[in-house]
Amino acid sequence: MNLNLKDQRKEKYLFKTIYCGECKQRKSCGKLSRAFCCPCQYQMELEKAQEYSSYQQVYQRKVKEQQDSYQQLKLLREYSGCKQCGSKEVDAYDLFKKGQLICQPCLISKEGESSSPISFLEQQKWYKKSWGIDLTEWLENFSQLPVNKNCVDKWKRDRNHLKSCNCLKQKAQETYLLFSNSLKESEKKLKECQCETSKKVRVDYLDSAASGWTYCEKCETKIESAGHHGVIKNRNSPSFWGLEAKEKVLCGNCLEGKKEGMPSLRKAEFNRYRKTGRL
């Protein structure tokens, strides 16, 4: 029994240290995500779902992805290798995002970093092992790639399958329904949200010692946190001085420009802080 209580205390302590990776102000209850609070996670899902708001939109995206993949593989197949080092491995990011063949080993030597390497030989082995097709023959004989393993299996049973293939439409429909249903499920869970909002504004950055810092929302002056608590000091909060401002964190100089709006007692205290160098 004592062990269970000890574990519970430990879990409670760990839970207290987990704040949303997006807004930094709420402890995640875990209904939607451990890394993000429910409101932020739902907002991100909502924004992502805009890209999949209709079946036609999803289908057009899938068609473009298929066309791009086909062209990228053709580029890889025709690539004779780097003129400098002879390597046939190219940078995956440049290929997929820019449609460019940049030698990955040379890119590392020049810039010290790169994304993962990719080569036609590697892709050929993957298609042979996973889908059982010869990629070279496929690119020579067909103007499109198979959609998935199921599409390949249908083609093996019926060589005319590609002429009337609906696999891409089915995949688009499944993707659309997946996002649509996922959003509906998240909406239900959002109503059960138990995320806790921090009473004080938390800093954006923490170091290994749990001390932190953030920046003035007006002039971007660096502002240290209140010890190891991960929150800003009261003196950097406009509300602490009785101000109604859209900013939640301000440095002393920016607060100085707003002090005429402070209540008289708060204004006197603010002037004392400024004279003693505390702000």
How many C-alpha atoms does 81 have within 13 Å on its Cβ side?
Answer: 7
Give the rounded percent of residues in the chain with a pLDDT score beyond 90.
67
Q: What is the mean pLDDT of the chain?
A: 88
Q: Which two tokens stand for residue 88?
A: 């046939």
The DSSP element (H or E) to which 215 belongs, if any, is strand 212-215
| Average of per-residue pLDDT across 47-66 | 91
Least confident range of 4-13, 20-29, 51-60: 4-13
Encode pLDDT of 40-54 as tens digits: 999 999 998 888 889
On whether the CB atoms of residues 138 and 112 are closer than 8 A, the answer is: no
- pLDDT of 17 higher than 70: no
pTM score: 0.65
- Res 219: pLDDT: 93
- pLDDT of 210 higher than 70: no
- Res 204: pLDDT: 82
On whether the CB atoms of residues 211 and 232 are closer than 8 A, the answer is: no
- pLDDT of 230 higher than 50: yes
- Res 13: pLDDT: 40
- Res 212: pLDDT: 85
CA distance 183 to 205: 31
* Residue 209 banded pLDDT, cuts 50, 70, 90: low
Amino acid identity at 211: S
- pLDDT of 261 higher than 90: yes
Between 203 and 75, name the one with better pLDDT: 75
- pLDDT of 165 higher than 80: yes
* Residue 229 banded pLDDT, cuts 50, 70, 90: confident
Question: H/E/C letters for each residue in 122-170?
Answer: HHHHHHHHHCCCCHHHHHHHCCCCCCCHHHHHHHHHCCCHHHHCCHHHH
CA distance 7 to 60: 51
CA-based nearest residue to 26, from 232, 183, 228, 193: 193
* Residue 168 banded pLDDT, cuts 50, 70, 90: very high
- Res 131: pLDDT: 95
| Average of per-residue pLDDT across 160-175 | 93
Encode pLDDT of 113-146 as tens digits: 888 999 999 999 999 999 999 999 999 999 999 9
Q: Which two tokens stand for residue 275?
A: 């004279």
How is the chain split into domains, by residue range? 27-52+167-198, 60-165, 205-275
Q: Give Cα separations from 156 to 125, 142, 161 (angstroms).
A: 19, 14, 8
Least confident range of 198-212, 225-239, 249-263: 198-212
CA distance 246 to 252: 16
Residue-by-residue DSSP string for 9-61: HHHHHHHHT-B-TTTSSEE--SSS-SSS-HHHHHHHHHHHHGGGSSHHHHHHH
CA distance 125 to 127: 6
Q: Give Cα separations from 190 to 5, 58, 180, 187, 196 (angstroms).
A: 30, 26, 15, 5, 13
CA distance 231 to 248: 12
- pLDDT of 279 higher than 80: yes
